[in-house]
Chains A and B, each alone.
Chain A
Amino acid sequence: EDKVVQSPLSLVVHEGDTVTLNCSYEVTNFRSLLWYKQEKKAPTFLFMLTSSGIEKKSGRLSSILDKKELFSILNITATQTGDSAIYLCAVNSGGSNYKLTFGKGTLLTVNP
């Protein structure tokens, strides 16, 4: 059975701190790893990673994948209160049906 494990499950930081969120996976036939941000409603897409060692960056957020060690990290620098959310990691384990297996998420709280 495919498995995606995120850590920590929750994290409280102060504005301006840098955080690293972790996602490890055990899946058959890995295709891609995706990060989503979920505030009050629907998850919104952040990154999709398919290749090891290539950093994806968007403003203060960045992410990288290690396919040998089977994990990814999501970094957020100079955190702001608006970064408070649940961050979800999901892995596509291939096949024509494209099923994503989600981790439980990391609840990030950024205090002013």
Chain B
Amino acid sequence: NAGVTQTPKFRILKIGQSMTLQCAQDMNHNYMYWYRQDPGMGLKLIYYSVGAGITDKGEVPNGYNVSRSTTEDFPLRLELAAPSQTSVYFCASRLAGGPNTGELFFGEGSRLTVL
């Protein structure tokens, strides 16, 4: 079982560069999320999607974009990278609805450094 797969695991970017963090899940989950985690700050929601073709902003969307063309994939794009985007990024997914579907399944994270 692959679960939630994120690539790359590590990346160093120069200021102003752009890149895409890939996320794929094979559990047929409707809901997918992107979080960033800064030291001592917990997880902050960047964007989320409740299904293919539907995306919405979270708490900290500035400087990022997402798309959801398929159920499986939810890439996160960074345009014009800035040092403030240095962070660990987690993709997560869950089933829609039902009392026992509260659990978020996380990918292993992508550590991004912007210099």
Contact = CB atoms under 8 A, between A and B. Distances in A.
Given A42-B90, A98-B94, A34 B102 contact: yes
Contact of B102 (A9, A92, A104): A92
B42 A42 contact: no
A21 interface: no
A96 to B, nearest CB: 7
A98 B29 CA distance: 13
Q: Is the interface of A mostly helix, strand, loop or mixed?
A: strand
Contacts of A43: 43, 90, 104, 106
B108 A41 contact: yes
Contact of A96 (B33, B45, B50, B109): B50
A48 B98 CA distance: 13
Residue with the highest number of chain A CB atoms closer than 10 Å, among B41, B42, B44, B109: B42
Contacts of B26: none
B109 A41 contact: yes
A104 B94 contact: no
A41 B94 CA distance: 18
Contacts of B108: 41-42
A32 B101 CA distance: 11
B31 interface: yes
B43 A102 contact: yes
Contact of A88 (B43, B105, B109): B43
Contacts of A45: 103-105
Interface of A: 4, 9, 32, 34, 41-45, 48, 50, 88, 90, 92, 96-105
21 contacts: A9-B40, A32-B102, A34-B102, A34-B103, A34-B104, A42-B106, A42-B109, A43-B43, A43-B104, A45-B103, A48-B103, A97-B50, A97-B56, A98-B96, A99-B58, A100-B45, A101-B45, A102-B42, A103-B42, A104-B42, A105-B42
Interface of B: 31, 33, 35, 40-45, 48, 50, 56, 58, 90, 94, 96, 99, 102-109
